[in-house]
Structures are given as C-alpha cells and as structure tokens.
Structure 1
C-alpha cells in the first residue's frame, strides 16, 4: 500500500498497482517537465511505494492525448494526465470532439511565467529592437513556441496588439514539444522564441540564448530580464498546469488521488522543483478547480476570437 492510501483517502489501498502519468505532448516541454516532476516527488518523496511511469502522447496541443485518455482509460484511477491553459486553447482551435468537461478534475498545480528569447548570435539585443522590426514588417519575424492556440501564441498575439500590429499577421511557428521549439531557436531557423521560462533557462544560463523579457508582473528573483510592463507593454501573462484523472472514476478514488497530490505538494522534492524551475504554487482542487477551468475556457475562447484564430 502506498503512502497515499495511508493518508486517510477514501480509496483505502490506493494506489493498487503502478501509476501512469500522461504528458500529452512530446518530450522536453512544460507538460513533460511537470509529469516527470510529479514522478520524482511521488517516488523520491515517499508518497507512494508503487512505480510511477510517465509517457508522452504528442500532437494537436494535447487534444490527441486528451482523446486517448478519455476514451481508453475511463474508470481507471491509476491513470493521470497533466494538462493546462495550452489545452484549453487547443480544444477550440482543433474542434476537438473531446473537451475538459469529460475527465475528472483533480488539482491545479503551478503557474509559470513566459519568456521571450533569441539565439545568442541574434542581432537583437533587446525586445524593443525586435518589436521595431516586427512592427515594420510583421511577417519577417518568426516566433517559435508550443502548439497552436497555446499561451505562447496568445502572448505573441497580445504583443502584436500592443505595438499596433494585427494579431492575425503574427508569423507563429507551432511545435509539439519544447525540445523541438528549442532546436528551431538555436538553429536560427526562427527569429525568436516564446515559451515557459523553465524551457529556456538551461540554454540561457549556458549562453546559447538571450532572454529579452518575461511576462511576470514583477522581476523574477534569479532571472536577469526585464518584465514586459517594465518595458512599457501593459501585459502580465501567466501559464498554469494541473492534473486530471479519467472519466467515471469512483468518488472515493477521486478523493484518494487528491490526497496523494496534496501529499506530493508538501514534499521537499516538489518544493525544490518549483524553485529550480521558477514555478509558482497554484493549488486548487475539486469543484474550485472545475469552476476555474470553466472560467478559463470562456476567457480563452473570447481571446482566440479576438485574435482571429477561431470563428
């Protein structure tokens, strides 16, 4: 019996058998990082004695993985899936037949801030220089980021609006995983990159990328970059991630999973990961998390319509 079962969860002996966590994207991105951080915290943190495995199902902003998760794993409490704001937008853009009303909400976990980078050999030393060329000729500046409709693309569209460019003219190059996007930025095949800070910081610290700005409201401790607001752009753009269980699980299992995640959140392993990745704790469970997802769905749908990304 794992520690979660001992913690008073209604599921008694939960988990019975190994836990599998789906990262619904290719390796190297934020969902993959979050799933593997959960894996470490659950096992190394002593929350469960069972094996915890992470697997990747990439494509279409997480909606391919979401459909597989909902259709193939209904009723199985040992299956979990990382998700977040990116998936909310992708569901609209891909006309996904499966949406976030179907899986079982467990908890939101973290928020992180976005970063805007260029390769270290770029001519652009500041965001102002980059956006001047972008304003003059929007299509000449290409932006690498995550999937279509992601927080990354939304931020690029909001920046366009800030400098008077039609968001529909953003030359955004979508990638299914952070590793793929980083490779495009480092090779110089795109002008700039926009994504979660954790996906860039290793390259920034190694001197391979230049961090031009972050999307936080205030400067981030340990990160040498100005905020968008500091540079005169009225934008504060957070990303968030959470975890869900499949549809049709028993209520006692939902409670046991929630207790397990709550215990995971309290481990020193998880807290260390938050510090290392510049993630901010953002914990909501049950009905509060479900209500938050519904509100985010409404907000993102309106924003994508404003950006001419959906009808």
Structure 2
C-alpha cells in the first residue's frame, strides 16, 4: 500500500519496490495500490484493519509520523509491525528564478521583518517540508507559529504554486525540485544535508546561515499481530529486495541515500522519531 496519491515519494518508493521484487522472481505477484489522504493516516487506519495479514506492506516515513500527531489520528504507528527503514532524502529550499531573494540571508532578512508575508509551499501539514520551514524560522529568530505555510498534496502542486508566483518559497525533497533548479526555473537557496549534495548547485542551510539539518526517510511497516514466521518472511523478503541490483540502481538514480535498517534497530529508530517529531510540531503550534 502507498498511502498517498500516485506520483509522490511513497508511491515512487512502492513502485520501485514492486519492480525490484519482480526482478528477483518474475512469477511473484506484487500489487501496489494507493490509499491517499491526511498525510497517510487514512492508509494507516486501513492497515490497522488488516491485523495479522502477512502479505501486506505499507510504505511510510517521517511525513506519517508528523501526520499522526497533526491529525490527532486515532490509529498510531504503535499499531503496526515495523519491518524496515529503506532510504533517506534531504530537503531543498527554493525560490522562483525571478525572486528578489538571491541567497538564504536575503530571504531570512525579509522573513524576519514580515513573517506573515512570506508564503512557503510544501507538502502536507506537519510533514517533513513543514518541519523544515519551522526549524528554519526558529534558526532565523522567528516564532515558528508565525510561519505562513501553504500545504499541498504533492510536489507537483507546490511546484505550480512556485512557478505561478503564488508563493515566495518552496520546500521539498531534493528529487522533486532538482530538475527545475538545473533548468533555471528555480533557484536553490539551501539543502538540509550536513554536506553539499552532489549534482545539486546549492549550499547547505547551515553553510548559508541557518543551522538546520533534517533527512526525510521512508520505510515499510506491516499490520500488527503478525506471527513470528510472517514477520521473518517479510523481513527476509525486503532484505533481498534491498540487496537487488534493481533496487540499488533505482536508489542511485533517484538520489536517495541508502539507510537500511530492520528488526529492533528500526523499531527503536521509529520510537525515537515519534518523540522528536512530536516535540518539534508542538513547538510550531501545530498540536496542542
């Protein structure tokens, strides 16, 4: 299950996994289906109703961790079986090519002067893009509650808002905006990585003056209530998929960073991320 509309990061990850699994065994039946809405929490609720189903994986990630809090979801990730963390992807902050903001310092100065006037486009409320915007505000000395964030259901919508000059700034995964930075339609002001990213003409946010670093990540969970055999079979299958040439090639092509974890390591990571994100979005005034 890709708990989002076609074309976004979860859908792309799901369909890449489908191809990689079929490359290992062409006779294997793998079906990807989409359950969009509410930052993945509609799909999460549907997963919860599949308790004990050892033939179902749901793609998820940092965005869902935020959406569970933001939407006050009655179903949480504690009602899933963590299987694997797959990839990480850093965020990029962009402006239209004709923007008066040539650097992140230019943007920060204008933003500080009139926070409400700077509209920032990104994905779902409480998701990675929104969190980066809040962390940038905090680093610039702006109250994160004053961020004028315009949530969109995907990178395509946010891109249209940017190119139509309906918003001043866009925040998204590097993969969603990189082509448009290369073509000159957008100007990159910073990336949320600890070091500069190959093939992306942009300083890091820290280098450009705002001490912010954050990686979006994606992984798989299964329904709760799996027996030990089903859990082991799914973990072994996803490990083989991760090791396949088809998956490794796709990770490189999409500019993802390999961040593979399974078992207790991923379970512990997921628990830590939930606590961290809850704190960040509470500070941003997104939850009471």
TM-score for both structures, normalised by structure 1: 0.88
Q: 1:124 to 1:158 in 2, by over 3 A?
A: same
Q: 1:138 to 1:286 in 2, by over 3 A?
A: same
Q: Secondary structure at the match of 1:79?
A: coil
User: Residue 28 of structure 1 corresponds to which residue in structure 2?
Assistant: 7
Q: 1:46 to 1:115 in 2, by over 3 A?
A: same
User: Residue 37 of structure 2 corresponds to which residue in structure 1?
Assistant: 59
User: Residue 40 of structure 1 corresponds to which residue in structure 2?
Assistant: 19
1:185 corresponds to 2:162 = yes
1:181 to partner: Cα distance: 2.1
1:201 to partner: Cα distance: 1.7
Higher alpha-carbon deviation: 236-245 or 118-127: 118-127
1:257 to partner: Cα distance: 1.1
The answer to whether the 8 Å contact 1:113/1:215 transfers is yes
1:177 to partner: Cα distance: 2.1
User: Residue 254 of structure 1 corresponds to which residue in structure 2?
Assistant: 231
1:245 maps to which of 189, 200, 222 = 222
Q: 1:271 to 1:169 in 2, by over 3 A?
A: same
1:134 to partner: Cα distance: 1.1
User: Residue 158 of structure 1 corresponds to which residue in structure 2?
Assistant: 135
Distance in 2 (alpha carbons) for counterparts of 1:53 and 1:133: 48
1:205 maps to which of 182, 195, 216 = 182
Q: Secondary structure at the match of 1:23?
A: coil
Counterparts of 1:47-126 in structure 2, within 5 Å, are: 47=25, 49-71=27-49, 73-126=50-103
1:203 to partner: Cα distance: 2.5
1:171 corresponds to 2:148 = yes
What do residues 95-114 of structure 1 show as CA deviations (whole Å, max 9, x unaligned)?
10000011111000011100
Distance in 2 (alpha carbons) for counterparts of 1:177 and 1:77: 30
1:263 maps to which of 216, 233, 240 = 240
What do residues 53-98 of structure 1 show as CA deviations (whole Å, max 9, x unaligned)?
2222222111111111212x22222221111111111111111000
* Structure 2: runs of 5 or more not aligned: none
Q: Secondary structure at the match of 1:76?
A: coil
Q: Report how many aligned residue pairs link the two structures.
A: 288
* Structure 1: runs of 5 or more not aligned: 1-21
Distance in 2 (alpha carbons) for counterparts of 1:223 and 1:214: 9
Distance in 2 (alpha carbons) for counterparts of 1:242 and 1:270: 14
User: Residue 139 of structure 1 corresponds to which residue in structure 2?
Assistant: 116
1:179 to partner: Cα distance: 2.4
Q: 1:97 to 1:84 in 2, by over 3 A?
A: same
Distance in 2 (alpha carbons) for counterparts of 1:180 and 1:69: 27
Distance in 1 (alpha carbons) for counterparts of 2:279 and 2:26: 41
User: Residue 294 of structure 1 corresponds to which residue in structure 2?
Assistant: 271
Q: RMSD between aligned alpha carbons?
A: 1.5
Q: Secondary structure at the match of 2:102?
A: coil
The answer to whether the 8 Å contact 1:27/1:179 transfers is no
Distance in 2 (alpha carbons) for counterparts of 1:202 and 1:51: 34
Q: Secondary structure at the match of 2:141?
A: coil
